[in-house]
Structure 1
Amino acid sequence: MTLPPSRSAAPENGLSHVRGPQDAPLKHATIPQLLAEAVAAHGSNDALIFRESGDRLSYVEFAKTVDRIAAGLLSLGVKKGDRVGIWSPNRLEWVLTQFATARIGSILVNINPAYRLSELEYALNKVGCSVLVAASKFKSSDYKGMLRELMPDLAEGKPSPRFPDLNHVVMMEADPGPGMIPFADLAGLATPELLAQLEDVTLTPEEPINIQFTSGTTGQPKGATLSHLNIVNNGSFVTDRINLTAQDRMVIPVPLYHCFGMVMGVLGAVSKGATMIFPGEAFDPAQTLDAVATERATALYGVPTMFVAMLQELDTAHRDLSSLRTGIMAGALCPIEVMKRVNKDMNMKEVTICYGMTETSPVSFQSFTDDPTEKRCETVGRIHPHLEVRIVDGHGKTVPIGEKGEIWTKGYSVMSGYWGDQPATERAVLDGWMQTGDLGVLDEEGFCTIVGRVKDMIIRGGENIYPREIEEFLIRHPKVRDVQVFGIPDERFGEEVCAWVVARNGEDLTPEALRDHCKGQIAHFKIPRHFRIVADLPMTVTGKPQKFVMRDQMVEILANDSGASA
């Protein structure tokens, strides 16, 4: 019998310090063990549905295919601990590679599908990938062409001096040409002897199994190294909170290379024997809603910008979403008005909010499905099991309840470190505490509200200004679809407040109207000095707003304007 998840996580002694419940034990299991449990209990269930390619596998078929791909990797000389990169959008081959590498204990290296030549070269060499599994192309990216450019000797079977560790390139196409191995051929390399070798592989939950590169908004990306224990348990606890079962059908439009898709989506679903439905290789609002309606999905994942796009699509073309029950909105700050519309217009009355970061596998806080509406709209919920969180000031001292500070996280989910970068690891993790760089507030019940990033906080003339507060106010304007607030340098005040705003479809919106909307409603020093109405906001592949891009562009725009006026 599964016990209902405990929610006893109130702060201690009036301080912003919470510990997660311990009643549900940690899973001392590896990823292959997780899949084997799903096969034993739910083998005939649909496991994977990729609508764009038409691939559909039951859990039994999924596990058998994984073993054949794993044996194929063994035939290429891949060993436990070797790094295998994957550079692809959401495809069946991605998930098969995820589980096949885990089956033999090699470490999967997630490579952002948006990476170009220099970024790919950096990632492969930083962690020493011996094999790269790649799609041939995605959108405007010609992966095969880029690889030929980076490795001109590949066609002749010669090692590339630029990639001293790379032995093989596996492409997701039938005939990729000289020097490259078709992905489908891996299964054909699986001899009975190699399949038997899989049973001799010894794995432990604490061993590293995945490297995920942080976004690298400043400096080079860092490879967060995660273990079976990290991600198996986080995926399980995430789906516990949305009451996922083997009867649920989950639509996953978020990218697999990110923790949201790979851990919260795939591993979370496998932990319950649920069905995973992938609408397409990348997010498309119409495609995603069609998948929900056609497949009678009960759960849906997405970042706020995805839900905004789906709501807009629903306004133009109705779908029957009555099967939906739950899901997760995470990956960025979630506007209250968007959350309310998702509850009502998408039938997701049990949608939850999550907060976390790649380095913590990723989720630390999450709503419960029956939390009060205002708590599910205004906070990121309460702490996850087996974790500990403190909100600290600039000196590392725990602040009183209700005060803002940096979120520090400790427990099973904290990464083992940044691959090959001990100094960066030591700067990020202090005595087991992951210093997140995120600003939060805890209330008396243990609910956490995210108020921004330490680096995003604006200091204007000595006043601390938190962009999230202004964003939440502006998003309530009836003509505003999306907004991001950030600081730009100012000679007089040190920093000034700037807002980029996206209007709702068909609405006429002006900076003057927004400025008038703010007067008398928020403190004068919080009213943005600069408003810019834009068609879209610059985003990462995972839907996170890129404030540094907006900041740089705004500084350039203002400099050009002042130059023209001079």
Structure 2
Amino acid sequence: MAVPAAASVRDANRYRPPRVTGLVDLLDEQVRERPYARALVVTGERVQLSYRALAALADEVAARLGGAGLGRGDAVGLICANSAEFVVALLGAARAGLVTAPLDPALPESQLSARLTALGARAALLDTSASGRGVVLPVPAWSLRVDVSVAGTAAVELEPGVCDRTQVQGAAGELSERDALVLFTAGTTDRAKMVPLTHANVAASLRTICATYELGPDDATVAVMPFFHGHGLFAALLSSLASGGCVLLPERGRFSAGTFWDDMQAVDATWFTAVPAVHEILLERSEREYPGPQAPPLKFVRSCSAPLNTATQRALERTFGAPLLSAYGMTESSHQATSEPLPQRGALRQGSVGRPTGVAVRVVDRGGRSCAAGVEGEVWVQGPTVARGYLADGDESARTFVDGWLRTGDLGALDEDGYLSLTGRIKNLINRGGEKISPEHVEDILAGCPGVAEAAVFAVPDAVYGQRVGAAVVVREPDGVEREEILRYCRDHLAAFEVPDRLELVTALPYTAKGGLDRKAVQARYAP
């Protein structure tokens, strides 16, 4: 595809990797060299907050937390939307030597309490929206507020109490001041795993992301994905701050399709990253809302955290006039493990999630032997971004982390040039009379059917075959495409055993807070 002038080849000498060792010194280079450059754009008035002002707020929070009896290596929860409070609390806690566990503020009180207890957090920091809910937590809950004036001056309100120094409970006993974050994997309270990431893990991830996309002080983005997961935290927020760029935090701290393009124009955004579900929304609304020539010229658009079908990818590139780069990552690898390169740095390959970025990637068979090029197997990842294991779960750590390799549970294949293509999740495979079927593959085919907006494929219990293939399909127009037309398309593009035996037309599909398809909810809703 043609690349717009704004995305043309940069002078390679202009790119300089960020000099960071973790969250503690994330802002230091920018404060020294560009103190008054904008770091964040916040509030409904889109007020700019400079690197110098942001660092001062973080230092103030660090001092107050240090005076509350918290020790270096202690864990604290962070329950905030994508707000200035989140950023200031995260960086302030890091500067105080604490380990921060971001939590989804939409979780019910029982799940927030269970995660804080399992972690052994000493306290929790809340922004005004979270504290206003009146949740009762098993640890001290301290309300944090950041006020930013139109002139760009800022002040922080935080009155922490004093933590007693009782013996550490929960998983926090496994942490030290080398650790920066504890992220919870997607899942219910009893299934979510705690992933400790060191400052070294964080720094390696940020250097890799910045290098992959050549991010620098001229770049800006809008925070689409939530910061309590790796996608929004590493790819949008921290990589932008490490590289000297700018992040606009939408009003009320969450993505809004209705204001997205206004936000992009307000910050002169050069890129953004999102899950496929968000890309689908933006594409569907583009005829009414995409500003066309008035839109900021984009260097690239990034997609991660779930498979993006090729039809949507091509449509997005045509609409936004920028290359769409698919990436692949997981919490246990500090987010990104592979990505398609910028067009001037390599070829874009449909259906691929790119080449390894800062890590080694293997595809192995069931015996742990490396597969030949083009042969499907489990994807394994090794490198400086990979976590050491899970907290308080030695058995699961032993199964997932093997001789320094992370067993991702994803199925895929590497081609001769090292590009990775994903074919599904091992645990999602449908076994229809011995035939193993990837739901993700069938979903990709369904999404290519004219008139289909999105699809979810699931296993239907069957007395004869064990499982059959079911599909829930969302169509773009209520009367646009019939069920039999979709099945005919499937018969033309799928093996006979892959064609859905049950197909339901639905108005919407359930999604997780992370933005991925909620397969458990799909199974419960449509499989019985």
Question: Structure 1: which amino acid aligns with 2:143?
Answer: M
Q: For 2:75 and 2:43, locate their aligned partners in 1 and report how far apart those are by CA, in whole Å.
A: 30
* Structure 2 SS opposite 1:32: coil
Structure 2 residue 224 is matched with structure 1 residue 227: no
Distance 1:133 1:461 in 2: 51
Preserved CA contact (<8 Å) 1:213 1:223? yes
CA distance in 1, matches of 2:19, 2:290: 42
SS of structure 2 residue aligned to 1:520: helix
Distance 1:375 1:302, change over 3 A: same
2:104 alignment counterpart: 112
Contact 1:217 1:548 in 2 (8 A): no
Q: Judge conservation of contact 2:470–2:501 (CA < 8 Å) in 1.
A: yes
Distance 1:534 1:404 in 2: 32
- Residues 188 and 214 (structure 1), Cα distance of their counterparts in 2 relative to 1, 3 Å cut: closer
Distance 1:271 1:26, change over 3 A: closer
Alignment pair present for 1:76 and 2:68: yes
Deviation of 1:505 (Å): 4.0
Equivalent position amino acid for 2:327 in 1: C
- Counterpart residue number, 1:60: 52
Q: Shift of residue 303 of structure 1?
A: 0.8
| Shift in alpha-carbon separation, 1:3–1:247, aligned structure 2, 3 A | closer
What's 2:527 paired with? Answer: 555
> How many residue pairs are counted as aligned between the two chains?
493
| Aligned residue type for 1:335 | N
Deviation, 1:555, is 2.5
Q: Deviations over 1:525-558 (max 9, x none)?
A: 11011111111111011210011211121223xx
- Residue 428 of structure 1, aligned match among 384, 400, 403: 400
The match for 1:546 among 514, 518, 525 is 518
Which of 288, 313, 316 does residue 339 from structure 1 map onto? 313
Matched-pair contact (CA < 8 Å) for 2:186–2:514: no
The one-letter code sitting in structure 1 at the alignment partner of 2:31 is V
Residue 244 of structure 1 corresponds to which residue in structure 2? 215
Q: Which residue in 2 is equivalent to 1:265?
A: 236
Change over 3 Å in CA distance of 1:501–1:402 after alignment to 2: same
Does the CA-based 8 Å contact 2:22-2:180 persist in structure 1?
no
Indicate which of 185, 192, 201 corresponds to 2:157.
185
CA distance in 1, matches of 2:310, 2:465: 31
Q: Could you say what secondary structure the match of 1:419 adopts?
A: coil
1:68-108 deviation per Cα after TM superposition (whole angstroms, max 9, x unaligned): 11111112222211111011211100011111111111000
1:414 to 2:376 alignment: no
2:212 is matched by which residue type in structure 1? R
Note closer, same or farther for the CA distance 1:502–1:169 as it changes in structure 2 (3 Å cut): same
Equivalent in 457, 462, 465 of residue 485 of structure 1: 457
Matched, 1:133 2:133: no
Q: Deviations over 1:380-404 (max 9, x none)?
A: 000012x111111222221111111
Secondary structure of the residue that 2:363 maps to in structure 1?
strand
Counterpart of 1:207 in structure 2 is 178
CA pair 88-28 structure 1, distance change in 2 beyond 3 A: closer
Alignment of 1:148-547 (within 5 A): 150=136, 163=138, 166=139, 168-172=140-144, 184-186=156-158, 207-216=178-187, 219-280=190-251, 281-319=253-291, 320-349=294-323, 351-370=324-343, 375-385=348-358, 387-505=359-477, 507-547=479-519
Moved more, 255-264 or 278-287: 278-287
Q: Does structure 2 retain, via aligned residues, the 8 Å contact 1:251–1:276? A: yes
Structure 1 pair 84–61 and aligned structure 2 pair: CA distance change class (3 A) = same
Asked if the contact 2:143–2:158 (Cα under 8 Å) also holds between the matched residues in 1, the reply is: no
Cα distance in 2, alignment partners of residues 45 and 301 from structure 1: 22
TM-superposed CA distance for 1:144, in Å, is 4.1
* Contact map agreement 1:136 1:173 (CA 8 A) in 2: yes
C-alpha change, 1:468 and 1:361, in structure 2 (3 Å) is same
Match of 1:155 in 2: none
Q: Using a 3 Å threshold, how does the CA distance of structure 1 residues 53 and 126 change in structure 2: closer, same or farther?
A: farther
3-state SS of the aligned residue for 1:551? helix
| Root-mean-square deviation (Å) | 2.6
Tell me the alpha carbon deviations over residues 54-77 of structure 1, each in whole angstroms, 9 at most, x when there is no partner. 442111111111101111111222
Give me the TM-score of the superposition, normalised by structure 1.
Answer: 0.82
User: d(CA) in 1 for partners of 2:177 and 2:423?
Assistant: 33
Counterparts of 1:422 and 1:90, CA distance in 2: 33
Paired residue secondary structure (1:226): strand
Whole-angstrom distance in 2 between the partners of 1:32 and 1:39:
13
- Give the deviation of 1:126 after TM superposition: 0.8
Q: Distance in 1 between matches of 2:345 and 2:12?
A: 17
Structure 1 residue 296: deviation in Å?
A: 1.9
> Aligned partner of 1:47: which letter?
A
Name the residue aligned to 2:80: 88
Give the distance between the partners of 1:186 and 1:145, measured in 2 at CA.
18
Amino acid of the residue matched to residue 505 of structure 2? I
Distance of 2:90 and 2:349 partners within structure 1: 32
Q: Distance in 1 between matches of 2:469 and 2:223?
A: 36
Q: Give the structure-2-normalised TM-score.
A: 0.88
AA partner of residue 222 (structure 1):
K
In structure 2, C-alpha distance between the alignment counterparts of 1:372 and 1:209, rounded to whole Å = 32
Q: Deviations over 1:115-150 (max 9, x none)?
A: 112211111101111111123436xxxx54452xx3
How far apart are the structure 1 equivalents of 2:159 and 2:492? 67
Distance 2:127 2:31 in 1: 28
Give distance in 1, aligned partners of 2:477 and 2:51.
Answer: 43
Contact kept, 8 Å, 1:410 with 1:434, in 2: the verdict is yes
8 A contact 2:73–2:177 mirrored in 1? no
- Of structures 1 and 2, the one with the larger relative CO (CA 8 A, separation 6+) is 1
Cα deviation for residue 421 of structure 1 reads 2.1
Residue matched to 1:9: none
- Cα–Cα, structure 1 residues 358 and 88, in superposed 2: closer, same or farther, change >3 Å? same
> Structure 1 residues 78 and 69, CA, compared in 2 at 3 Å: closer, same or farther?
same
Report the CA distance between 1:496 and its aligned residue.
Answer: 0.8
Q: Which amino acid aligns with 2:340?
A: S
